[in-house]
Amino acid sequence: MRLFVALGWAGGSWEVLGSEGGGLLYRRRGHDGSALGERRVHPPPEAWRAFWERLRALGVPDWEARYEPEYPVCGGTTWAVRVDGFQSTGEDAYPPNWQAFLEALSELAGFRLE
């Protein structure tokens, strides 16, 4: 399975991409897109299994395709999650279990994503 998660806002952004066989690449960027740092990690197979199980338990594959607030957005936080054929995006609106998803992703990476 392949994984891509990105979160961006006026002050910068971060993204995580990778797969079980290739590991994870974490990148942080500044508000102008400049690279602020990069880190590669290789979670063990049991960490990947726990992560996929957690995503299913959280209902991530059932997330809506798009989340938006009912008010107009100007310069808000945007995000995207892609796992194989599944994709969900949003701008200043999130699925109800978004924080638990970020915690699961941080556990997989082995450090807090921010």
Distance CA 30, CA 44 (A): 30
DSSP state of 92: S
* Residue 111 amino acid letter: F
Q: Convert the pLDDT of each residue in 35-92 to its tens digit.
A: 899 999 999 999 999 999 999 999 999 999 999 988 877 767 889 999 888 899 998 8
Higher pLDDT, 26 or 74: 26
Instruction: Report residue 30's pLDDT band, with 50, 70 and 90 as the boundaries.
Output: confident
Instruction: Tell me how many domains the chain contains.
Output: 1
Domain holding 13: CATH number? 3.30.1560.10
Quote the domain boundaries for residue 13. 2-109
Distance CA 111, CA 108 (A): 8
What's residue 40's pLDDT? Answer: 96
* Domain membership flag for residue 68: yes
* Domain membership flag for residue 114: no
